[in-house]
Structure 1
Amino acid sequence: MIPPHRLSYHRKPSPPPATPFPRTGDSSSPTLKILPEHPATLILRRFLFLVAVSLSCVILFRASDSVRFLPRFQSSTSGSSSSSFPFNFSSAFGDSPLEAGDGYRLEKVLKDAAMEDSTVIITAINEAWAAPNSVVDLFLESFRIGDHTRRLLNHLVIIGLDQKAFARCLVIHTHCFSLVSDGVDFRHEAYFMTPDYLKMMWKRIDFLRSVLEMGYNFVFTDADVMWFRDPFPQFYLDADFQIACDIFLGSSDDVLNRPNGGFNYVKSNNRSVEFYKFWYSSHETFPGYHDQDVLNIIKSHPFILDIGLKMKFLDTAYFGGLCEPSKDLNEVCTMHANCCFGLDNKLHDLRIMLQDWKHFMSLPPSLKRLSNFSWSVPQNCSLSSLHHYDSLKKDIEEGGQD
């Protein structure tokens, strides 16, 4: 028998005291023992944690994705036009024809239509020009029958200046935008130099400035400009602003050329945006003048030199019109129904112009190269019709002063 004092007393270590969990207001509550968590409960807790993290990621992704549709500035691909600036909401929406919501919708339309270098083709129509068998149908037809121009329709944005024009665009084209002004009726034919005509022209200039501020280069074309060839190979690479002419004097740098605002190619950069602001603000300096006349006044203004804008005038050999038709159909890119008064006269001569082109394109290549084929227009359109209109306008003004 082992003596008592030799016995070893072995026992399990006492568990650590349980953390007390008193009931509110009861200090004598018994001590609760925390039991190990059940495996199923642990799995559920981890699952809920992962769900919460996933939802947070989705919310953050959607927030960042929406930023893609904010207006942005992309510098021109040209080295000489690579300056950049932040998008200015106050100038694009506060002082422009666009409301904030319109700006976001326009950004989506422009993005869908843009070429890889953020260039779009833009035209604007009202109800009169959008009607079936009217100007816009002939305009779209020219792209379809032109030499490698059909693909350019993918990059064309049609601006509806009234609801009916916008609705017609949705039927006949893919990229449409509504630019409707409260209190201004652009639905009917806006006769040359009437108040409605002037409002339409200046609204166009202000709108195009907003497009530049969004970072998009553009070719603006009136819908009465027929597109027979891809014009981009004939554009100057180093120009910020280049414009077609009613009368071309032989040099692309000659400020005495007579530009026509119905066709121009503009690169988005600081210089072009400042130029369009200056151009638009000048209509207050020269009230009663349309954008083309004001451009003729300001094209040699010192401000143009100060901002460093590179301006070029396009040769009518490639970018002709009824004022000065392109002579060689092997070279022509576009033809404009300018120097024409009255929608019916314009439609008449545009249809003949398209027929002339179809006839030329039907010739075998050898005859095309040797052909002395020329346009059958102008017919109903002519400078004399404009002179007649000016005389009528003068008579009306003088009659009103009596």
Structure 2
Amino acid sequence: MPTSCTIAMKRTNLMYRMCSRSITRSLVIFLLILLAIGLVMTGMLETIASRRYLNSDHLPPRKSRIQPVSDEPPPKTVVLTTTNSAFLDLTENWLYSIQSCGVWPNITVIAEDRAAYEALRKMKFNIHVTLADQLSTADNLLFDTPEYKRFVNKRADYILALLHNGYDVLFSDVDTYWVKNPFPYFEEGYDIFTQADQLPPLPQVLCAGFVFYKATGQTLKFVRTWITRMAIKKQKLPDQVVLNQLIMKCMKNKNGVKVKVLDPNLFVSGQFYFNDDWRSKNPHVQPVMLHNNWVIGHDVKVQRFKKIGMWSIK
């Protein structure tokens, strides 16, 4: 027969096992509770971060929720533009054109006045809107005026800031219209891709309003030089003039930044496409992008787009 001591020991062991099981169950429940709390907190933090990001006025921009249906741009690419209140309708038309061509990249719009900033944030596009540090005019800008030069000459600084963060940058004026996805045309082997504004036999002029900058060492060096040259020029020249001077020098010397001039029948200047005679002689041309330039004034640009059925605002 078991002694009272043996019975006591068995009872103790049984109680110990029961207690251990209870502690284990409690510990498991406690860990599950901690895990649940962690998941909830993570979700809350992500929500807070998301809201902060959506309300952020700082670069870099967020990724689009719209999935492109054709060739995607590289993941670290930003489409950049600047605008003001006078050009908000052209900006909206530009955004509609991108939406309709089957690609929606990361898009950052820099507003050069507060009214434009507030209006852009209310637009129903998945874009990142930021307010310029030094505000410009909200009025209509006329080509080659001092205010116009101050406005456009800020663009290189914005481009450089993104390149420094490792982003490839497609700078696009808001008076362009995207018909197709342009990204497949930016092949490897070049640092900069630019639209031609004027073609031989006339002197070639490259456009600063549609340029793809790859985040290479040569591109960074080039853009820094571009900014420096604009700053030291006694006579304030538009960014495009200085850009052409530097690119032509690089192409002539065959060193430094590697520049690809985009096919002018695919990336078409306003000098050609909005000319009825030119279009009748070139019916085969199916542009990827057309630029509503070579004309001065907001209203004329709008009428041009409407005339050829490329005005998407009702």
TM-score, normalization: structure 2?
0.71
CA shift, 1:56, in A, is: 11
Following superposition of structure 1 onto structure 2, how do residues 276-315 of structure 1 map, counting pairs within 5 Å?
Answer: 276-287=223-234, 288-301=236-249, 308-315=256-263
**Paired amino acid for 2:170:** V
Which whole-Å deviations, capped at 9, do the CAs of 1:232-259 have from their partners, x for residues lacking one?
Answer: 3444432210111111238xxxxx6210
CA shift, 1:350, in A, is: 2.3
Number of matched residues? Answer: 280
Output the aligned Cα RMSD: 4.2
The residue number in structure 1 matching 2:163 is: 212
Which of residues 241, 259, 272 in structure 1 aligns to 2:206?
A: 259
The residue number in structure 2 matching 1:373 is: none
Which of residues 110, 117, 140 in structure 1 aligns to 2:74?
A: 117
Do 2:64 and 2:106's aligned partners in 1 also have CA atoms closer than 8 Å?
Answer: no
What secondary structure, in the 3-state scheme, does the structure 2 residue paired with 1:323 have? Answer: helix
**Paired amino acid for 1:346:** K
Cα distance change on mapping 1:274 and 1:232 into 2, 3 Å: same
**Paired amino acid for 1:107:** P
The residue number in structure 1 matching 2:179 is: 228
The residue number in structure 2 matching 1:185 is: 136
Distance in 1 between residues matched to 2:184 and 2:302, nearest whole Å: 29
Do 2:226 and 2:242's aligned partners in 1 also have CA atoms closer than 8 Å?
Answer: yes
Q: Greater Rg, structure 1 or structure 2?
A: 1
Distance in 2 between residues matched to 1:129 and 1:172, nearest whole Å: 17
Mean CA deviation greater in 232-241 or 259-268 = 232-241
Mean CA deviation greater in 224-233 or 152-161 = 152-161
Following superposition of structure 1 onto structure 2, how do residues 350-369 of structure 1 map, counting pairs within 5 Å?
Answer: 350-354=305-309
Cα distance change on mapping 1:234 and 1:248 into 2, 3 Å: farther
Do 1:316 and 1:324's aligned partners in 2 also have CA atoms closer than 8 Å?
Answer: no
- Is 1:165 the counterpart of 2:116? The answer is yes
Cα distance change on mapping 1:258 and 1:111 into 2, 3 Å: same
TM-score, normalization: structure 1?
0.57
CA shift, 1:44, in A, is: 9.6
The residue number in structure 1 matching 2:217 is: 270
Tell me which of the two structures has the higher relative contact order, counting C-alpha pairs closer than 8 angstroms and 6 or more residues apart: 2
The residue number in structure 1 matching 2:145 is: 194
Do 1:317 and 1:328's aligned partners in 2 also have CA atoms closer than 8 Å?
Answer: no
Distance in 2 between residues matched to 1:247 and 1:306, nearest whole Å: 21
Cα distance change on mapping 1:116 and 1:229 into 2, 3 Å: closer
Cα distance change on mapping 1:316 and 1:328 into 2, 3 Å: farther
**Paired amino acid for 2:215:** S
Distance in 1 between residues matched to 2:37 and 2:227, nearest whole Å: 47
Do 1:163 and 1:178's aligned partners in 2 also have CA atoms closer than 8 Å?
Answer: no
Structure 2 unaligned spans of 5+: 6-15, 51-55, 274-278
Do 2:141 and 2:297's aligned partners in 1 also have CA atoms closer than 8 Å?
Answer: no
Do 2:78 and 2:105's aligned partners in 1 also have CA atoms closer than 8 Å?
Answer: no
Which whole-Å deviations, capped at 9, do the CAs of 1:143-164 have from their partners, x for residues lacking one?
Answer: 46xxxx4322455443322232
Structure 1 unaligned spans of 5+: 1-11, 13-35, 70-100, 251-255, 357-402
Which whole-Å deviations, capped at 9, do the CAs of 1:202-243 have from their partners, x for residues lacking one?
Answer: 222111122222222232211111222333344443221011
Distance in 2 between residues matched to 1:289 and 1:127, nearest whole Å: 24
- Is 1:317 the counterpart of 2:236? The answer is no
Percent identity of paired positions between Structure 1 and Structure 2: 21
Distance in 2 between residues matched to 1:108 and 1:214, nearest whole Å: 12
Distance in 2 between residues matched to 1:230 and 1:111, nearest whole Å: 15
